[in-house]
């Protein structure tokens, strides 16, 4: 009786509350899915531009011309499905095709199609994974994916670990520093970041800038984040680290955290984790590894030696959304210390984590510094199931094979056109293209005037390639080296050795043309 009254109330609401265009709007997902499947299939097309370069006014005017302005100000009329699809069409057309085989700009690239499908499922179920009661399946999957990652790390991680999927690597690194800070100074949670020991953290000068942001956020302060000069490969030097730790101790400070890196953002350098673990043990410091970029080697028997000693560290950050091509964002934080997340971050909010409800012990929400959280684990879980361990390893190995092919071509070049700016450690290849007029170029042995000229070349090539919609590749200057290209091979299953050869020919042609035009 009560039940039927309730459902008739629901029916009445459904009738009176539904806006007129409701049925048209619910047809949109099907139209969108169909369009996006075509978009994904067309990503292989090398004749499509990677980018249709436009400034902000040009983008706005494309939308105006199509009759659907960017602005949401003023009185907005309800738009038809056709208009919504037209806006989507423009978005697809003028967004950078990060799934294009020639998108080498960042540490992420083409999204794995299985993870795209999983991501669609995540948003269709619209699940917040803070509690088991609303996210039973995702919660179990998160534990399983973390257990798999732990098994690849090995050591104590296989037995006990704790972890979370968090919104990006910078946040993963924040978790590492935050747990370390709480361990070194537990009272800071109540007392605040004043009047306690002067905590000091260490990292290399090649580490990700999130360590700096996180030192500010956690109240450590940027003055207490010591950047240790890196070695010739861009690695944290253990000797210099220990000297800095001893000096901080002599000054009465409390060294508490070392932020090591496996696969640095620019150079791809892998710090020596075992040597650093020894130092951390001697001086009672928490060792975190930022393997956001380079952590994918854990999937490969051939390359996991780069992270030897990972099982010794206290916590690890890994972004499958980079080399593995899991859709953005997918970032894992894992620590070998059981229950440390909840004991540090838990507030036992009475309205979410009721102690007397079913399955309370499976809630992940009180481990986080957020409240709600996306279900990013499913994208990696489904991708892993689809590829298997061998497929995951093959994708990593292919990125390395392509990078090695390019580095070898540069090493063996006899024309003076190419020069490595650094020996590659990961799948970042850092190189100079040297226009004919600037040869020979001797890298760091060159005069300042020669380096100043080389400094102009990468931006010239980059700009022209963007104008043409050709490959996107990043460049920068590091440690006195003038601007060099950093091409990154991430999630590059569809990139072939021929693609690399063709790309190098185009870089050379554009480089000579653009530099000649600059001189003219």
Residues in touch with ligand PLP (CB under 6 A): 107, 168-170, 208, 210, 261, 264-265, 290, 292-293, 319, 329, 331
Query: Angle at Cα 36 formed by Cα 30 and Cα 40, nearest 5°?
Result: 150
Instruction: Pick the closer one to ligand PLP by CB: 265 or 427.
Output: 265
State the minimum distance, in angstroms, from the CB of residue 70 to ligand PLP: 26
State the minimum distance, in angstroms, from the CB of residue 204 to ligand PLP: 11
State the minimum distance, in angstroms, from the CB of residue 146 to ligand PLP: 17
Q: What is the dihedral of CA 132, 133, 138, 141, to 10 degrees?
A: 40
State the minimum distance, in angstroms, from the CB of residue 34 to ligand PLP: 31
Cis, peptide link before residue 440, omega less than 30° from 0: yes
3-class SS of residue 164: strand
Instruction: Pick the closer one to ligand PLP by CB: 220 or 267.
Output: 267
Instruction: Pick the closer one to ligand PLP by CB: 182 or 265.
Output: 265
Instruction: Pick the closer one to ligand PLP by CB: 319 or 368.
Output: 319
3-class SS of residue 199: strand
Instruction: Pick the closer one to ligand PLP by CB: 208 or 398.
Output: 208
Residue number of the CB closest to ligand PLP reads 169
Q: Which tokens sit at 448?
A: 């300042």
In angstroms, how far is CA 423 from the centroid of its own chain? 23
State the minimum distance, in angstroms, from the CB of residue 262 to ligand PLP: 8
Instruction: Pick the closer one to ligand PLP by CB: 268 or 435.
Output: 268
**Are 471 and 485 contacting, i.e. CB atoms less than 8 angstroms apart?**
no
Distance CA 308, CA 513 (A): 45
User: Which string of b and e fits 206-228 if b means at least 16 CB within 10 Å?
Assistant: bbbebbeebbeebebeeebbbbb
Three-state SS string over 60-79 comes to HHHHHHCCCCCCCCCCCCCC
In angstroms, how far is CA 191 from the centroid of its own chain? 34
Q: Which tokens sit at 46?
A: 């090398």
Three-state SS string over 231-248 comes to CCCCCECHHHHHHHHHHH
**Are 394 and 238 contacting, i.e. CB atoms less than 8 angstroms apart?**
no
Query: Cβ-count burial of 449 within 10 angstroms (0-12 exposed, 13-18 middle, 19+ buried)?
Result: exposed
Instruction: Pick the closer one to ligand PLP by CB: 170 or 296.
Output: 170
Q: Count of CB atoms within 10 A of residue 298's CB?
A: 24
Instruction: Pick the closer one to ligand PLP by CB: 292 or 417.
Output: 292
Which phi and psi angles does 13 have, rounded to 5°? -60, -45
Instruction: Pick the closer one to ligand PLP by CB: 170 or 383.
Output: 170
Q: Give me the residue label for tokens 């400094």.
A: 455
Instruction: Pick the closer one to ligand PLP by CB: 103 or 293.
Output: 293
Q: Which helix (H) or strand (E) holds 513?
A: helix 497-519
> Between the CA of residue 478 and those of 422, 482, 485, what are the distances in Å?
10, 7, 11
3-class SS of residue 173: helix
State the minimum distance, in angstroms, from the CB of residue 48 to ligand PLP: 26
State the minimum distance, in angstroms, from the CB of residue 379 to ligand PLP: 14
In angstroms, how far is CA 249 from the centroid of its own chain? 34
Q: Which has the closest alpha carbon to 170: 203, 211, 207, 204?
A: 211
**Are 330 and 115 contacting, i.e. CB atoms less than 8 angstroms apart?**
yes
State the minimum distance, in angstroms, from the CB of residue 510 to ligand PLP: 27
Looking at residue 309, what DSSP letter applies?
Answer: T
Instruction: Pick the closer one to ligand PLP by CB: 321 or 419.
Output: 321
State the minimum distance, in angstroms, from the CB of residue 210 to ligand PLP: 5
State the minimum distance, in angstroms, from the CB of residue 478 to ligand PLP: 14
Instruction: Pick the closer one to ligand PLP by CB: 295 or 482.
Output: 295
State the minimum distance, in angstroms, from the CB of residue 208 to ligand PLP: 3
State the minimum distance, in angstroms, from the CB of residue 136 to ligand PLP: 27
């Amino acid at each position: 009786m009560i039940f039927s009254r309730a459902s008739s109330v629901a029916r009445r609401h459904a009738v009176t509350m539904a806006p007129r265009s409701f049925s048209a709007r619910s047809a949109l997902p099907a139209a969108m899915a169909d369009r996006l499947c075509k978009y994904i299939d067309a990503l292989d097309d090398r004749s499509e531009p990677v980018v249709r370069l436009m400034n902000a006014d040009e983008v706005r005017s494309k939308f105006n011309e199509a009759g659907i302005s960017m602005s949401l100000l003023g009185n907005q009329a309800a738009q038809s499905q056709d208009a919504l699809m037209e806006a989507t069409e423009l978005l697809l057309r003028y967004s950078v095709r990060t799934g294009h085989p020639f998108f080498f700009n960042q540490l992420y690239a083409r999204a794995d199609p299985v993870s795209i499908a999983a991501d669609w499922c995540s948003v269709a179920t619209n699940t917040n994974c803070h509690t088991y009661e609303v996210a039973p399946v995702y919660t179990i999957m998160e534990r399983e994916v973390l257990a798999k990652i732990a098994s690849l790390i090995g050591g104590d991680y296989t037995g006990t670990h704790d972890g979370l999927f968090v919104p990006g690597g910078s946040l993963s690194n924040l978790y590492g520093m935050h747990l370390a800070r709480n361990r070194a100074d537990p009272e800071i949670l109540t007392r605040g970041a004043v009047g306690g020991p002067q905590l000091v953290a260490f990292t290399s000068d090649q580490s990700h800038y999130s360590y700096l942001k996180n030192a500010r956020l956690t109240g450590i302060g940027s003055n207490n984040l010591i950047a240790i000069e890196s070695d010739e490969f861009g690695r944290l030097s253990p000797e210099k680290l220990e000297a800095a730790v001893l000096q901080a101790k002599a000054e009465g400070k409390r060294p508490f955290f070392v932020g090591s890196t496996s696969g640095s953002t620019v150079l791809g350098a892998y710090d020596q984790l075992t040597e650093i673990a020894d130092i951390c043990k001697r001086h009672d410091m928490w060792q975190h590894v930022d393997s956001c970029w380079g952590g994918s080697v854990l999937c490969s028997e051939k390359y996991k030696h780069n992270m030897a000693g990972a099982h010794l560290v206290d916590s690890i950050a890994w972004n499958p959304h980079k080399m593995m091509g899991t859709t953005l964002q997918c970032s894992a934080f894992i620590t070998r210390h059981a229950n440390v997340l909840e004991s540090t971050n838990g507030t036992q909010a009475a309205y979410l984590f009721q102690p007397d409800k079913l399955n309370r012990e499976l809630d992940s929400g009180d481990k986080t510094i957020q409240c709600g959280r996306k279900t990013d684990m499913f994208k990696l879980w489904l991708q892993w199931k689809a590829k298997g361990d061998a497929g995951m390893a093959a994708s990593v190995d292919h990125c390395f094979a392509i990078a090695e092919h390019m580095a070898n071509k540069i090493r063996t070049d006899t024309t003076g056109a190419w020069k490595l700016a650094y020996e590659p450690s990961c799948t970042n290849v850092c190189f100079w293209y040297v226009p004919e007029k600037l040869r020979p170029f001797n890298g760091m042995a060159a005069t300042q005037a020669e380096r100043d000229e080389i400094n102009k070349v990468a931006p010239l090539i980059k700009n022209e390639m963007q104008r043409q919609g050709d490959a996107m590749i990043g460049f920068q200057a590091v440690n006195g080296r003038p601007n060099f290209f950093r091409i990154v091979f991430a999630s590059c299953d569809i990139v072939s050795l021929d693609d690399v050869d063709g790309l190098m020919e185009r870089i050379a042609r554009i480089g000579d043309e653009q530099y000649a035009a600059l001189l003219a």
